[in-house]
A and B are shown apart, each in its own frame.
Chain A
Amino acid sequence: MTDVLAIADHRRGELRDVSFELVTAGRELANETGGDLHVAVISGDVEGFGDQLQLDGVDTVHTVENGEEFNHDVYAQVVTQLFEAVDPQFLVMPNSVNGLDYAPAVANRLGLAYVSDVVDVGIDGSTLTATREMYSGKVETTTAVEAEQVAVSIRGAEWPATDETGDATVEAFEADVDESAVRSTVTGFEEVGGGDVDISEADVLVSIGRGIEEEENLDLVRDLADALDATLSSSRPIVDAGWLPKNRQVGQSGKVVTPDVYIAIGISGAVQHVAGMKGSDTIVAINTDPNAPIYDIADYGIVDDLFDVVPALIEEFE
């Protein structure tokens, strides 16, 4: 019971980045426990995925054939069975949208302590210590998990991806899936958010968040975008409110953008937003809150009221 079992994530024929990050996190834990790192991949082209997961630090890859795509009822059953077969100390799952859809069920089914969305893990004696954020990223916490076996879900992009090939053994795992317990059917996928502009092509983005308060105030940032010859984008609440179309949303569920300059105005810098813009060359933040997480990744900041700063900036360019 010193092993670590990590569950890979994939979609539409491709392993997702977090799968390779899970390997790094899993290996770190296995180094501490002195156990093996097992990685499992369920559904899809498991043979191809299995090859890709023969990575440095992985001892065994378990491939489980079952349908093409993710189905949470299948995952919940298979991961439970794998857990029982491997009997690991730590079960590591991704805090991806699919992770959100099966990891808590697995933890419940197995009666495991569950700590989600961790950004760092360590072991103190035999106790797992997990680092997590609270209060919209304003504080970080350490949590001690007093249990013999623990399920954790890891936040994406917090561990480097393992990309070096290793010599893991690949084994097919025969899961016994009870079809009567599969009561959900994925009927398709749809891309959303096409439309007039592609913000991922823009060199300069003026991006607005909830700090703008009212729809009428959007004109102010439109004027700024015009003055700077920039494209207007936003955080999620602006799109949720229907003030801008979905194709303007930057973030995990919106678009990933990599402009030369990204100006984040009245945006706190929630992890799901940052996921979409952290690759920008130069990041400028305008926010009244000096502790807003956006300043952690900003290159330049103005801690002040956007309703004062933005008009002044427009004036500079007129």
Chain B
Amino acid sequence: MKVLVTVKEVAAVEDEFQIAGTSIDETYLEYDLNEWDDYAVEEAVQLQEAGIADEVVAVTIGPERAEETIRMALAKGADRAVRIWDDALEGSDLLDVGAKTAILEKVVEEEDPDLVLSGVQADDDGFGATGVSLADALGFEWAAVVNHLDQDSVESGTASVRRELEGGVEELTDIELPAVLTIQTGINEPRYASLRGIRQAQRKEIAPKTLGDLGLDAAAVENELTLTDMYEPETESDATYFEGGPEEAAAQLATLLRDKGVGAQ
């Protein structure tokens, strides 16, 4: 069976940063593989190692720069990758769920996988919606916030999963394949890419595609969402800060804690 993993290069903001209009200047951003996608890649690679998946394909929507991140997925064991980018996507601060769905739907149709794994959410835009939206567009079954997958069940055509609900409760659910699972952290322990893996990844294919290659035009990815403002959130509480270096700050905190009866045996 074939497993497709959607991966996203996400930007993290440095401790000190500046906002210019509705975006943060490149110099304050660090790019990395989205945390939740890392777990999705690991789950796919484990299915491959168990002999259940014959092929693992990583797909991303992102500019050429994103290839660095996609190589991480390849270094960890994905067989090949597809990267979609287009001039029509270039200027957009925020790609909405509908646009991502339209693009990924075409890729899934081309690749025809039995299982699609995606992260629960992306750490930068935080929509938490693409996997389920994609499943619905494809007519696939789905499960969101999956923190356990019974690998053997996948072979039988019904995926037995656990969904992590709130408050330490898990839901046990069986879903029919083909399906999209949105993967929650903690489902496995993502591996580090080995040096050998990193070397091999250099030779693996990352196929660049445009909207046209997928049979889409710019109208298909027209954004209904526009960022109109970006700002640092106002703090709700006025915290008292202890200053003067670690020792001095620790001493002030110790006084506070003792006042509150902490540490008084």
Do A and B pair up? The answer is yes
Interface residues in chain A, defined as those with a beta carbon under 8 Å from any beta carbon in chain B: 11, 16, 72-73, 76, 95-98, 100-105, 107-109, 113-117, 129, 132-147, 183-193, 204, 227-230, 236-237, 239-242, 246, 252-256, 260-261, 282, 284-285, 288-291, 293, 295-305, 308-309, 312-313, 315-317
* A253 interface neighbour in B164, B174, B230, B251, Cβ under 8 Å: B164
**Which chain B residues lie closer than 8 Å to A104 at the CB level?**
97, 128-133, 136
CB pair A228–B97 under 8 Å, yes or no, is no
CB pair A129–B228 under 8 Å, yes or no, is yes
* A114 interface neighbour in B133, B170, B186, B262, Cβ under 8 Å: B133
CB pair B242–A246 under 8 Å, yes or no, is no
Could you name 12 residue pairs across A and B whose Cβ atoms are closer than 8 Å? A72-B142, A72-B144, A101-B143, A114-B129, A135-B24, A143-B227, A191-B169, A192-B168, A192-B170, A227-B263, A240-B185, A299-B240
B254 part of interface (Cβ distance < 8 Å): yes
Task: Please judge, given known A-B contacts A295-B235, A298-B237, whether A140 and B15 are in contact too, CB under 8 Å.
Answer: no
* A135 interface neighbour in B12, B94, B131, B163, Cβ under 8 Å: B12
B247 part of interface (Cβ distance < 8 Å): yes
**Which chain A residues lie closer than 8 Å to B263 at the CB level?**
227-229, 317
CB pair B237–A299 under 8 Å, yes or no, is yes
**Which chain A residues lie closer than 8 Å to B182 at the CB level?**
100
Cα-based distance from A273 to B173 in the complex (angstroms): 26
Measured CB to CB, the closest approach of chain A to B69, in angstroms, equals 16
CB pair A101–B126 under 8 Å, yes or no, is no
B109 part of interface (Cβ distance < 8 Å): no
**Which chain B residues lie closer than 8 Å to A73 at the CB level?**
141
CB pair B144–A236 under 8 Å, yes or no, is no
CB pair B172–A186 under 8 Å, yes or no, is yes
CB pair B97–A107 under 8 Å, yes or no, is yes
B6 part of interface (Cβ distance < 8 Å): no
Cα-based distance from A254 to B170 in the complex (angstroms): 11
Q: How large is the interface on B (under 10, 10 to 19, 20 to 34, 35 or more residues)?
A: 35 or more
**Which chain A residues lie closer than 8 Å to B135 at the CB level?**
105
In the complex, chain B residues 224-258 whose Cβ is within 8 Å of any chain A Cβ: 224-233, 235-237, 239-242, 245-247, 249-251, 253-254, 256-257
B98 part of interface (Cβ distance < 8 Å): yes
Interface residues in chain B, defined as those with a beta carbon under 8 Å from any beta carbon in chain A: 11-13, 15-17, 19, 22, 24, 94, 96-98, 101, 120, 123-133, 135-137, 141-145, 160, 162-176, 182, 185-186, 189, 224-233, 235-237, 239-242, 245-247, 249-251, 253-254, 256-257, 260-263, 265
CB pair A101–B132 under 8 Å, yes or no, is yes
CB pair B174–A187 under 8 Å, yes or no, is yes
Task: Please judge, given known A-B contacts A76-B136, A228-B257, A253-B164, whether A189 and B143 are in contact too, CB under 8 Å.
Answer: no
Measured CB to CB, the closest approach of chain B to A278, in angstroms, equals 10
Specify the chain B residue showing the minimal Cβ separation from A305: B246
* B227 interface neighbour in A95, A137, A142, Cβ under 8 Å: A142
**Which chain B residues lie closer than 8 Å to A141 at the CB level?**
22, 227, 229-231
**Which chain B residues lie closer than 8 Å to A312 at the CB level?**
246-247, 249-251
Cα-based distance from A145 to B97 in the complex (angstroms): 12
Cα-based distance from A308 to B253 in the complex (angstroms): 14
**Which chain A residues lie closer than 8 Å to B173 at the CB level?**
184-187
* Interface-central residue, B162, B227, B235, B257, by most chain A CB under 10 Å: B257
CB pair B166–A134 under 8 Å, yes or no, is no
Task: Please judge, given known A-B contacts A187-B172, A192-B169, A229-B262, whether A142 and B133 are in contact too, CB under 8 Å.
Answer: no
Specify the chain B residue showing the minimal Cβ separation from A137: B233
CB pair B250–A316 under 8 Å, yes or no, is yes
CB pair B98–A114 under 8 Å, yes or no, is yes
Cα-based distance from A187 to B175 in the complex (angstroms): 11
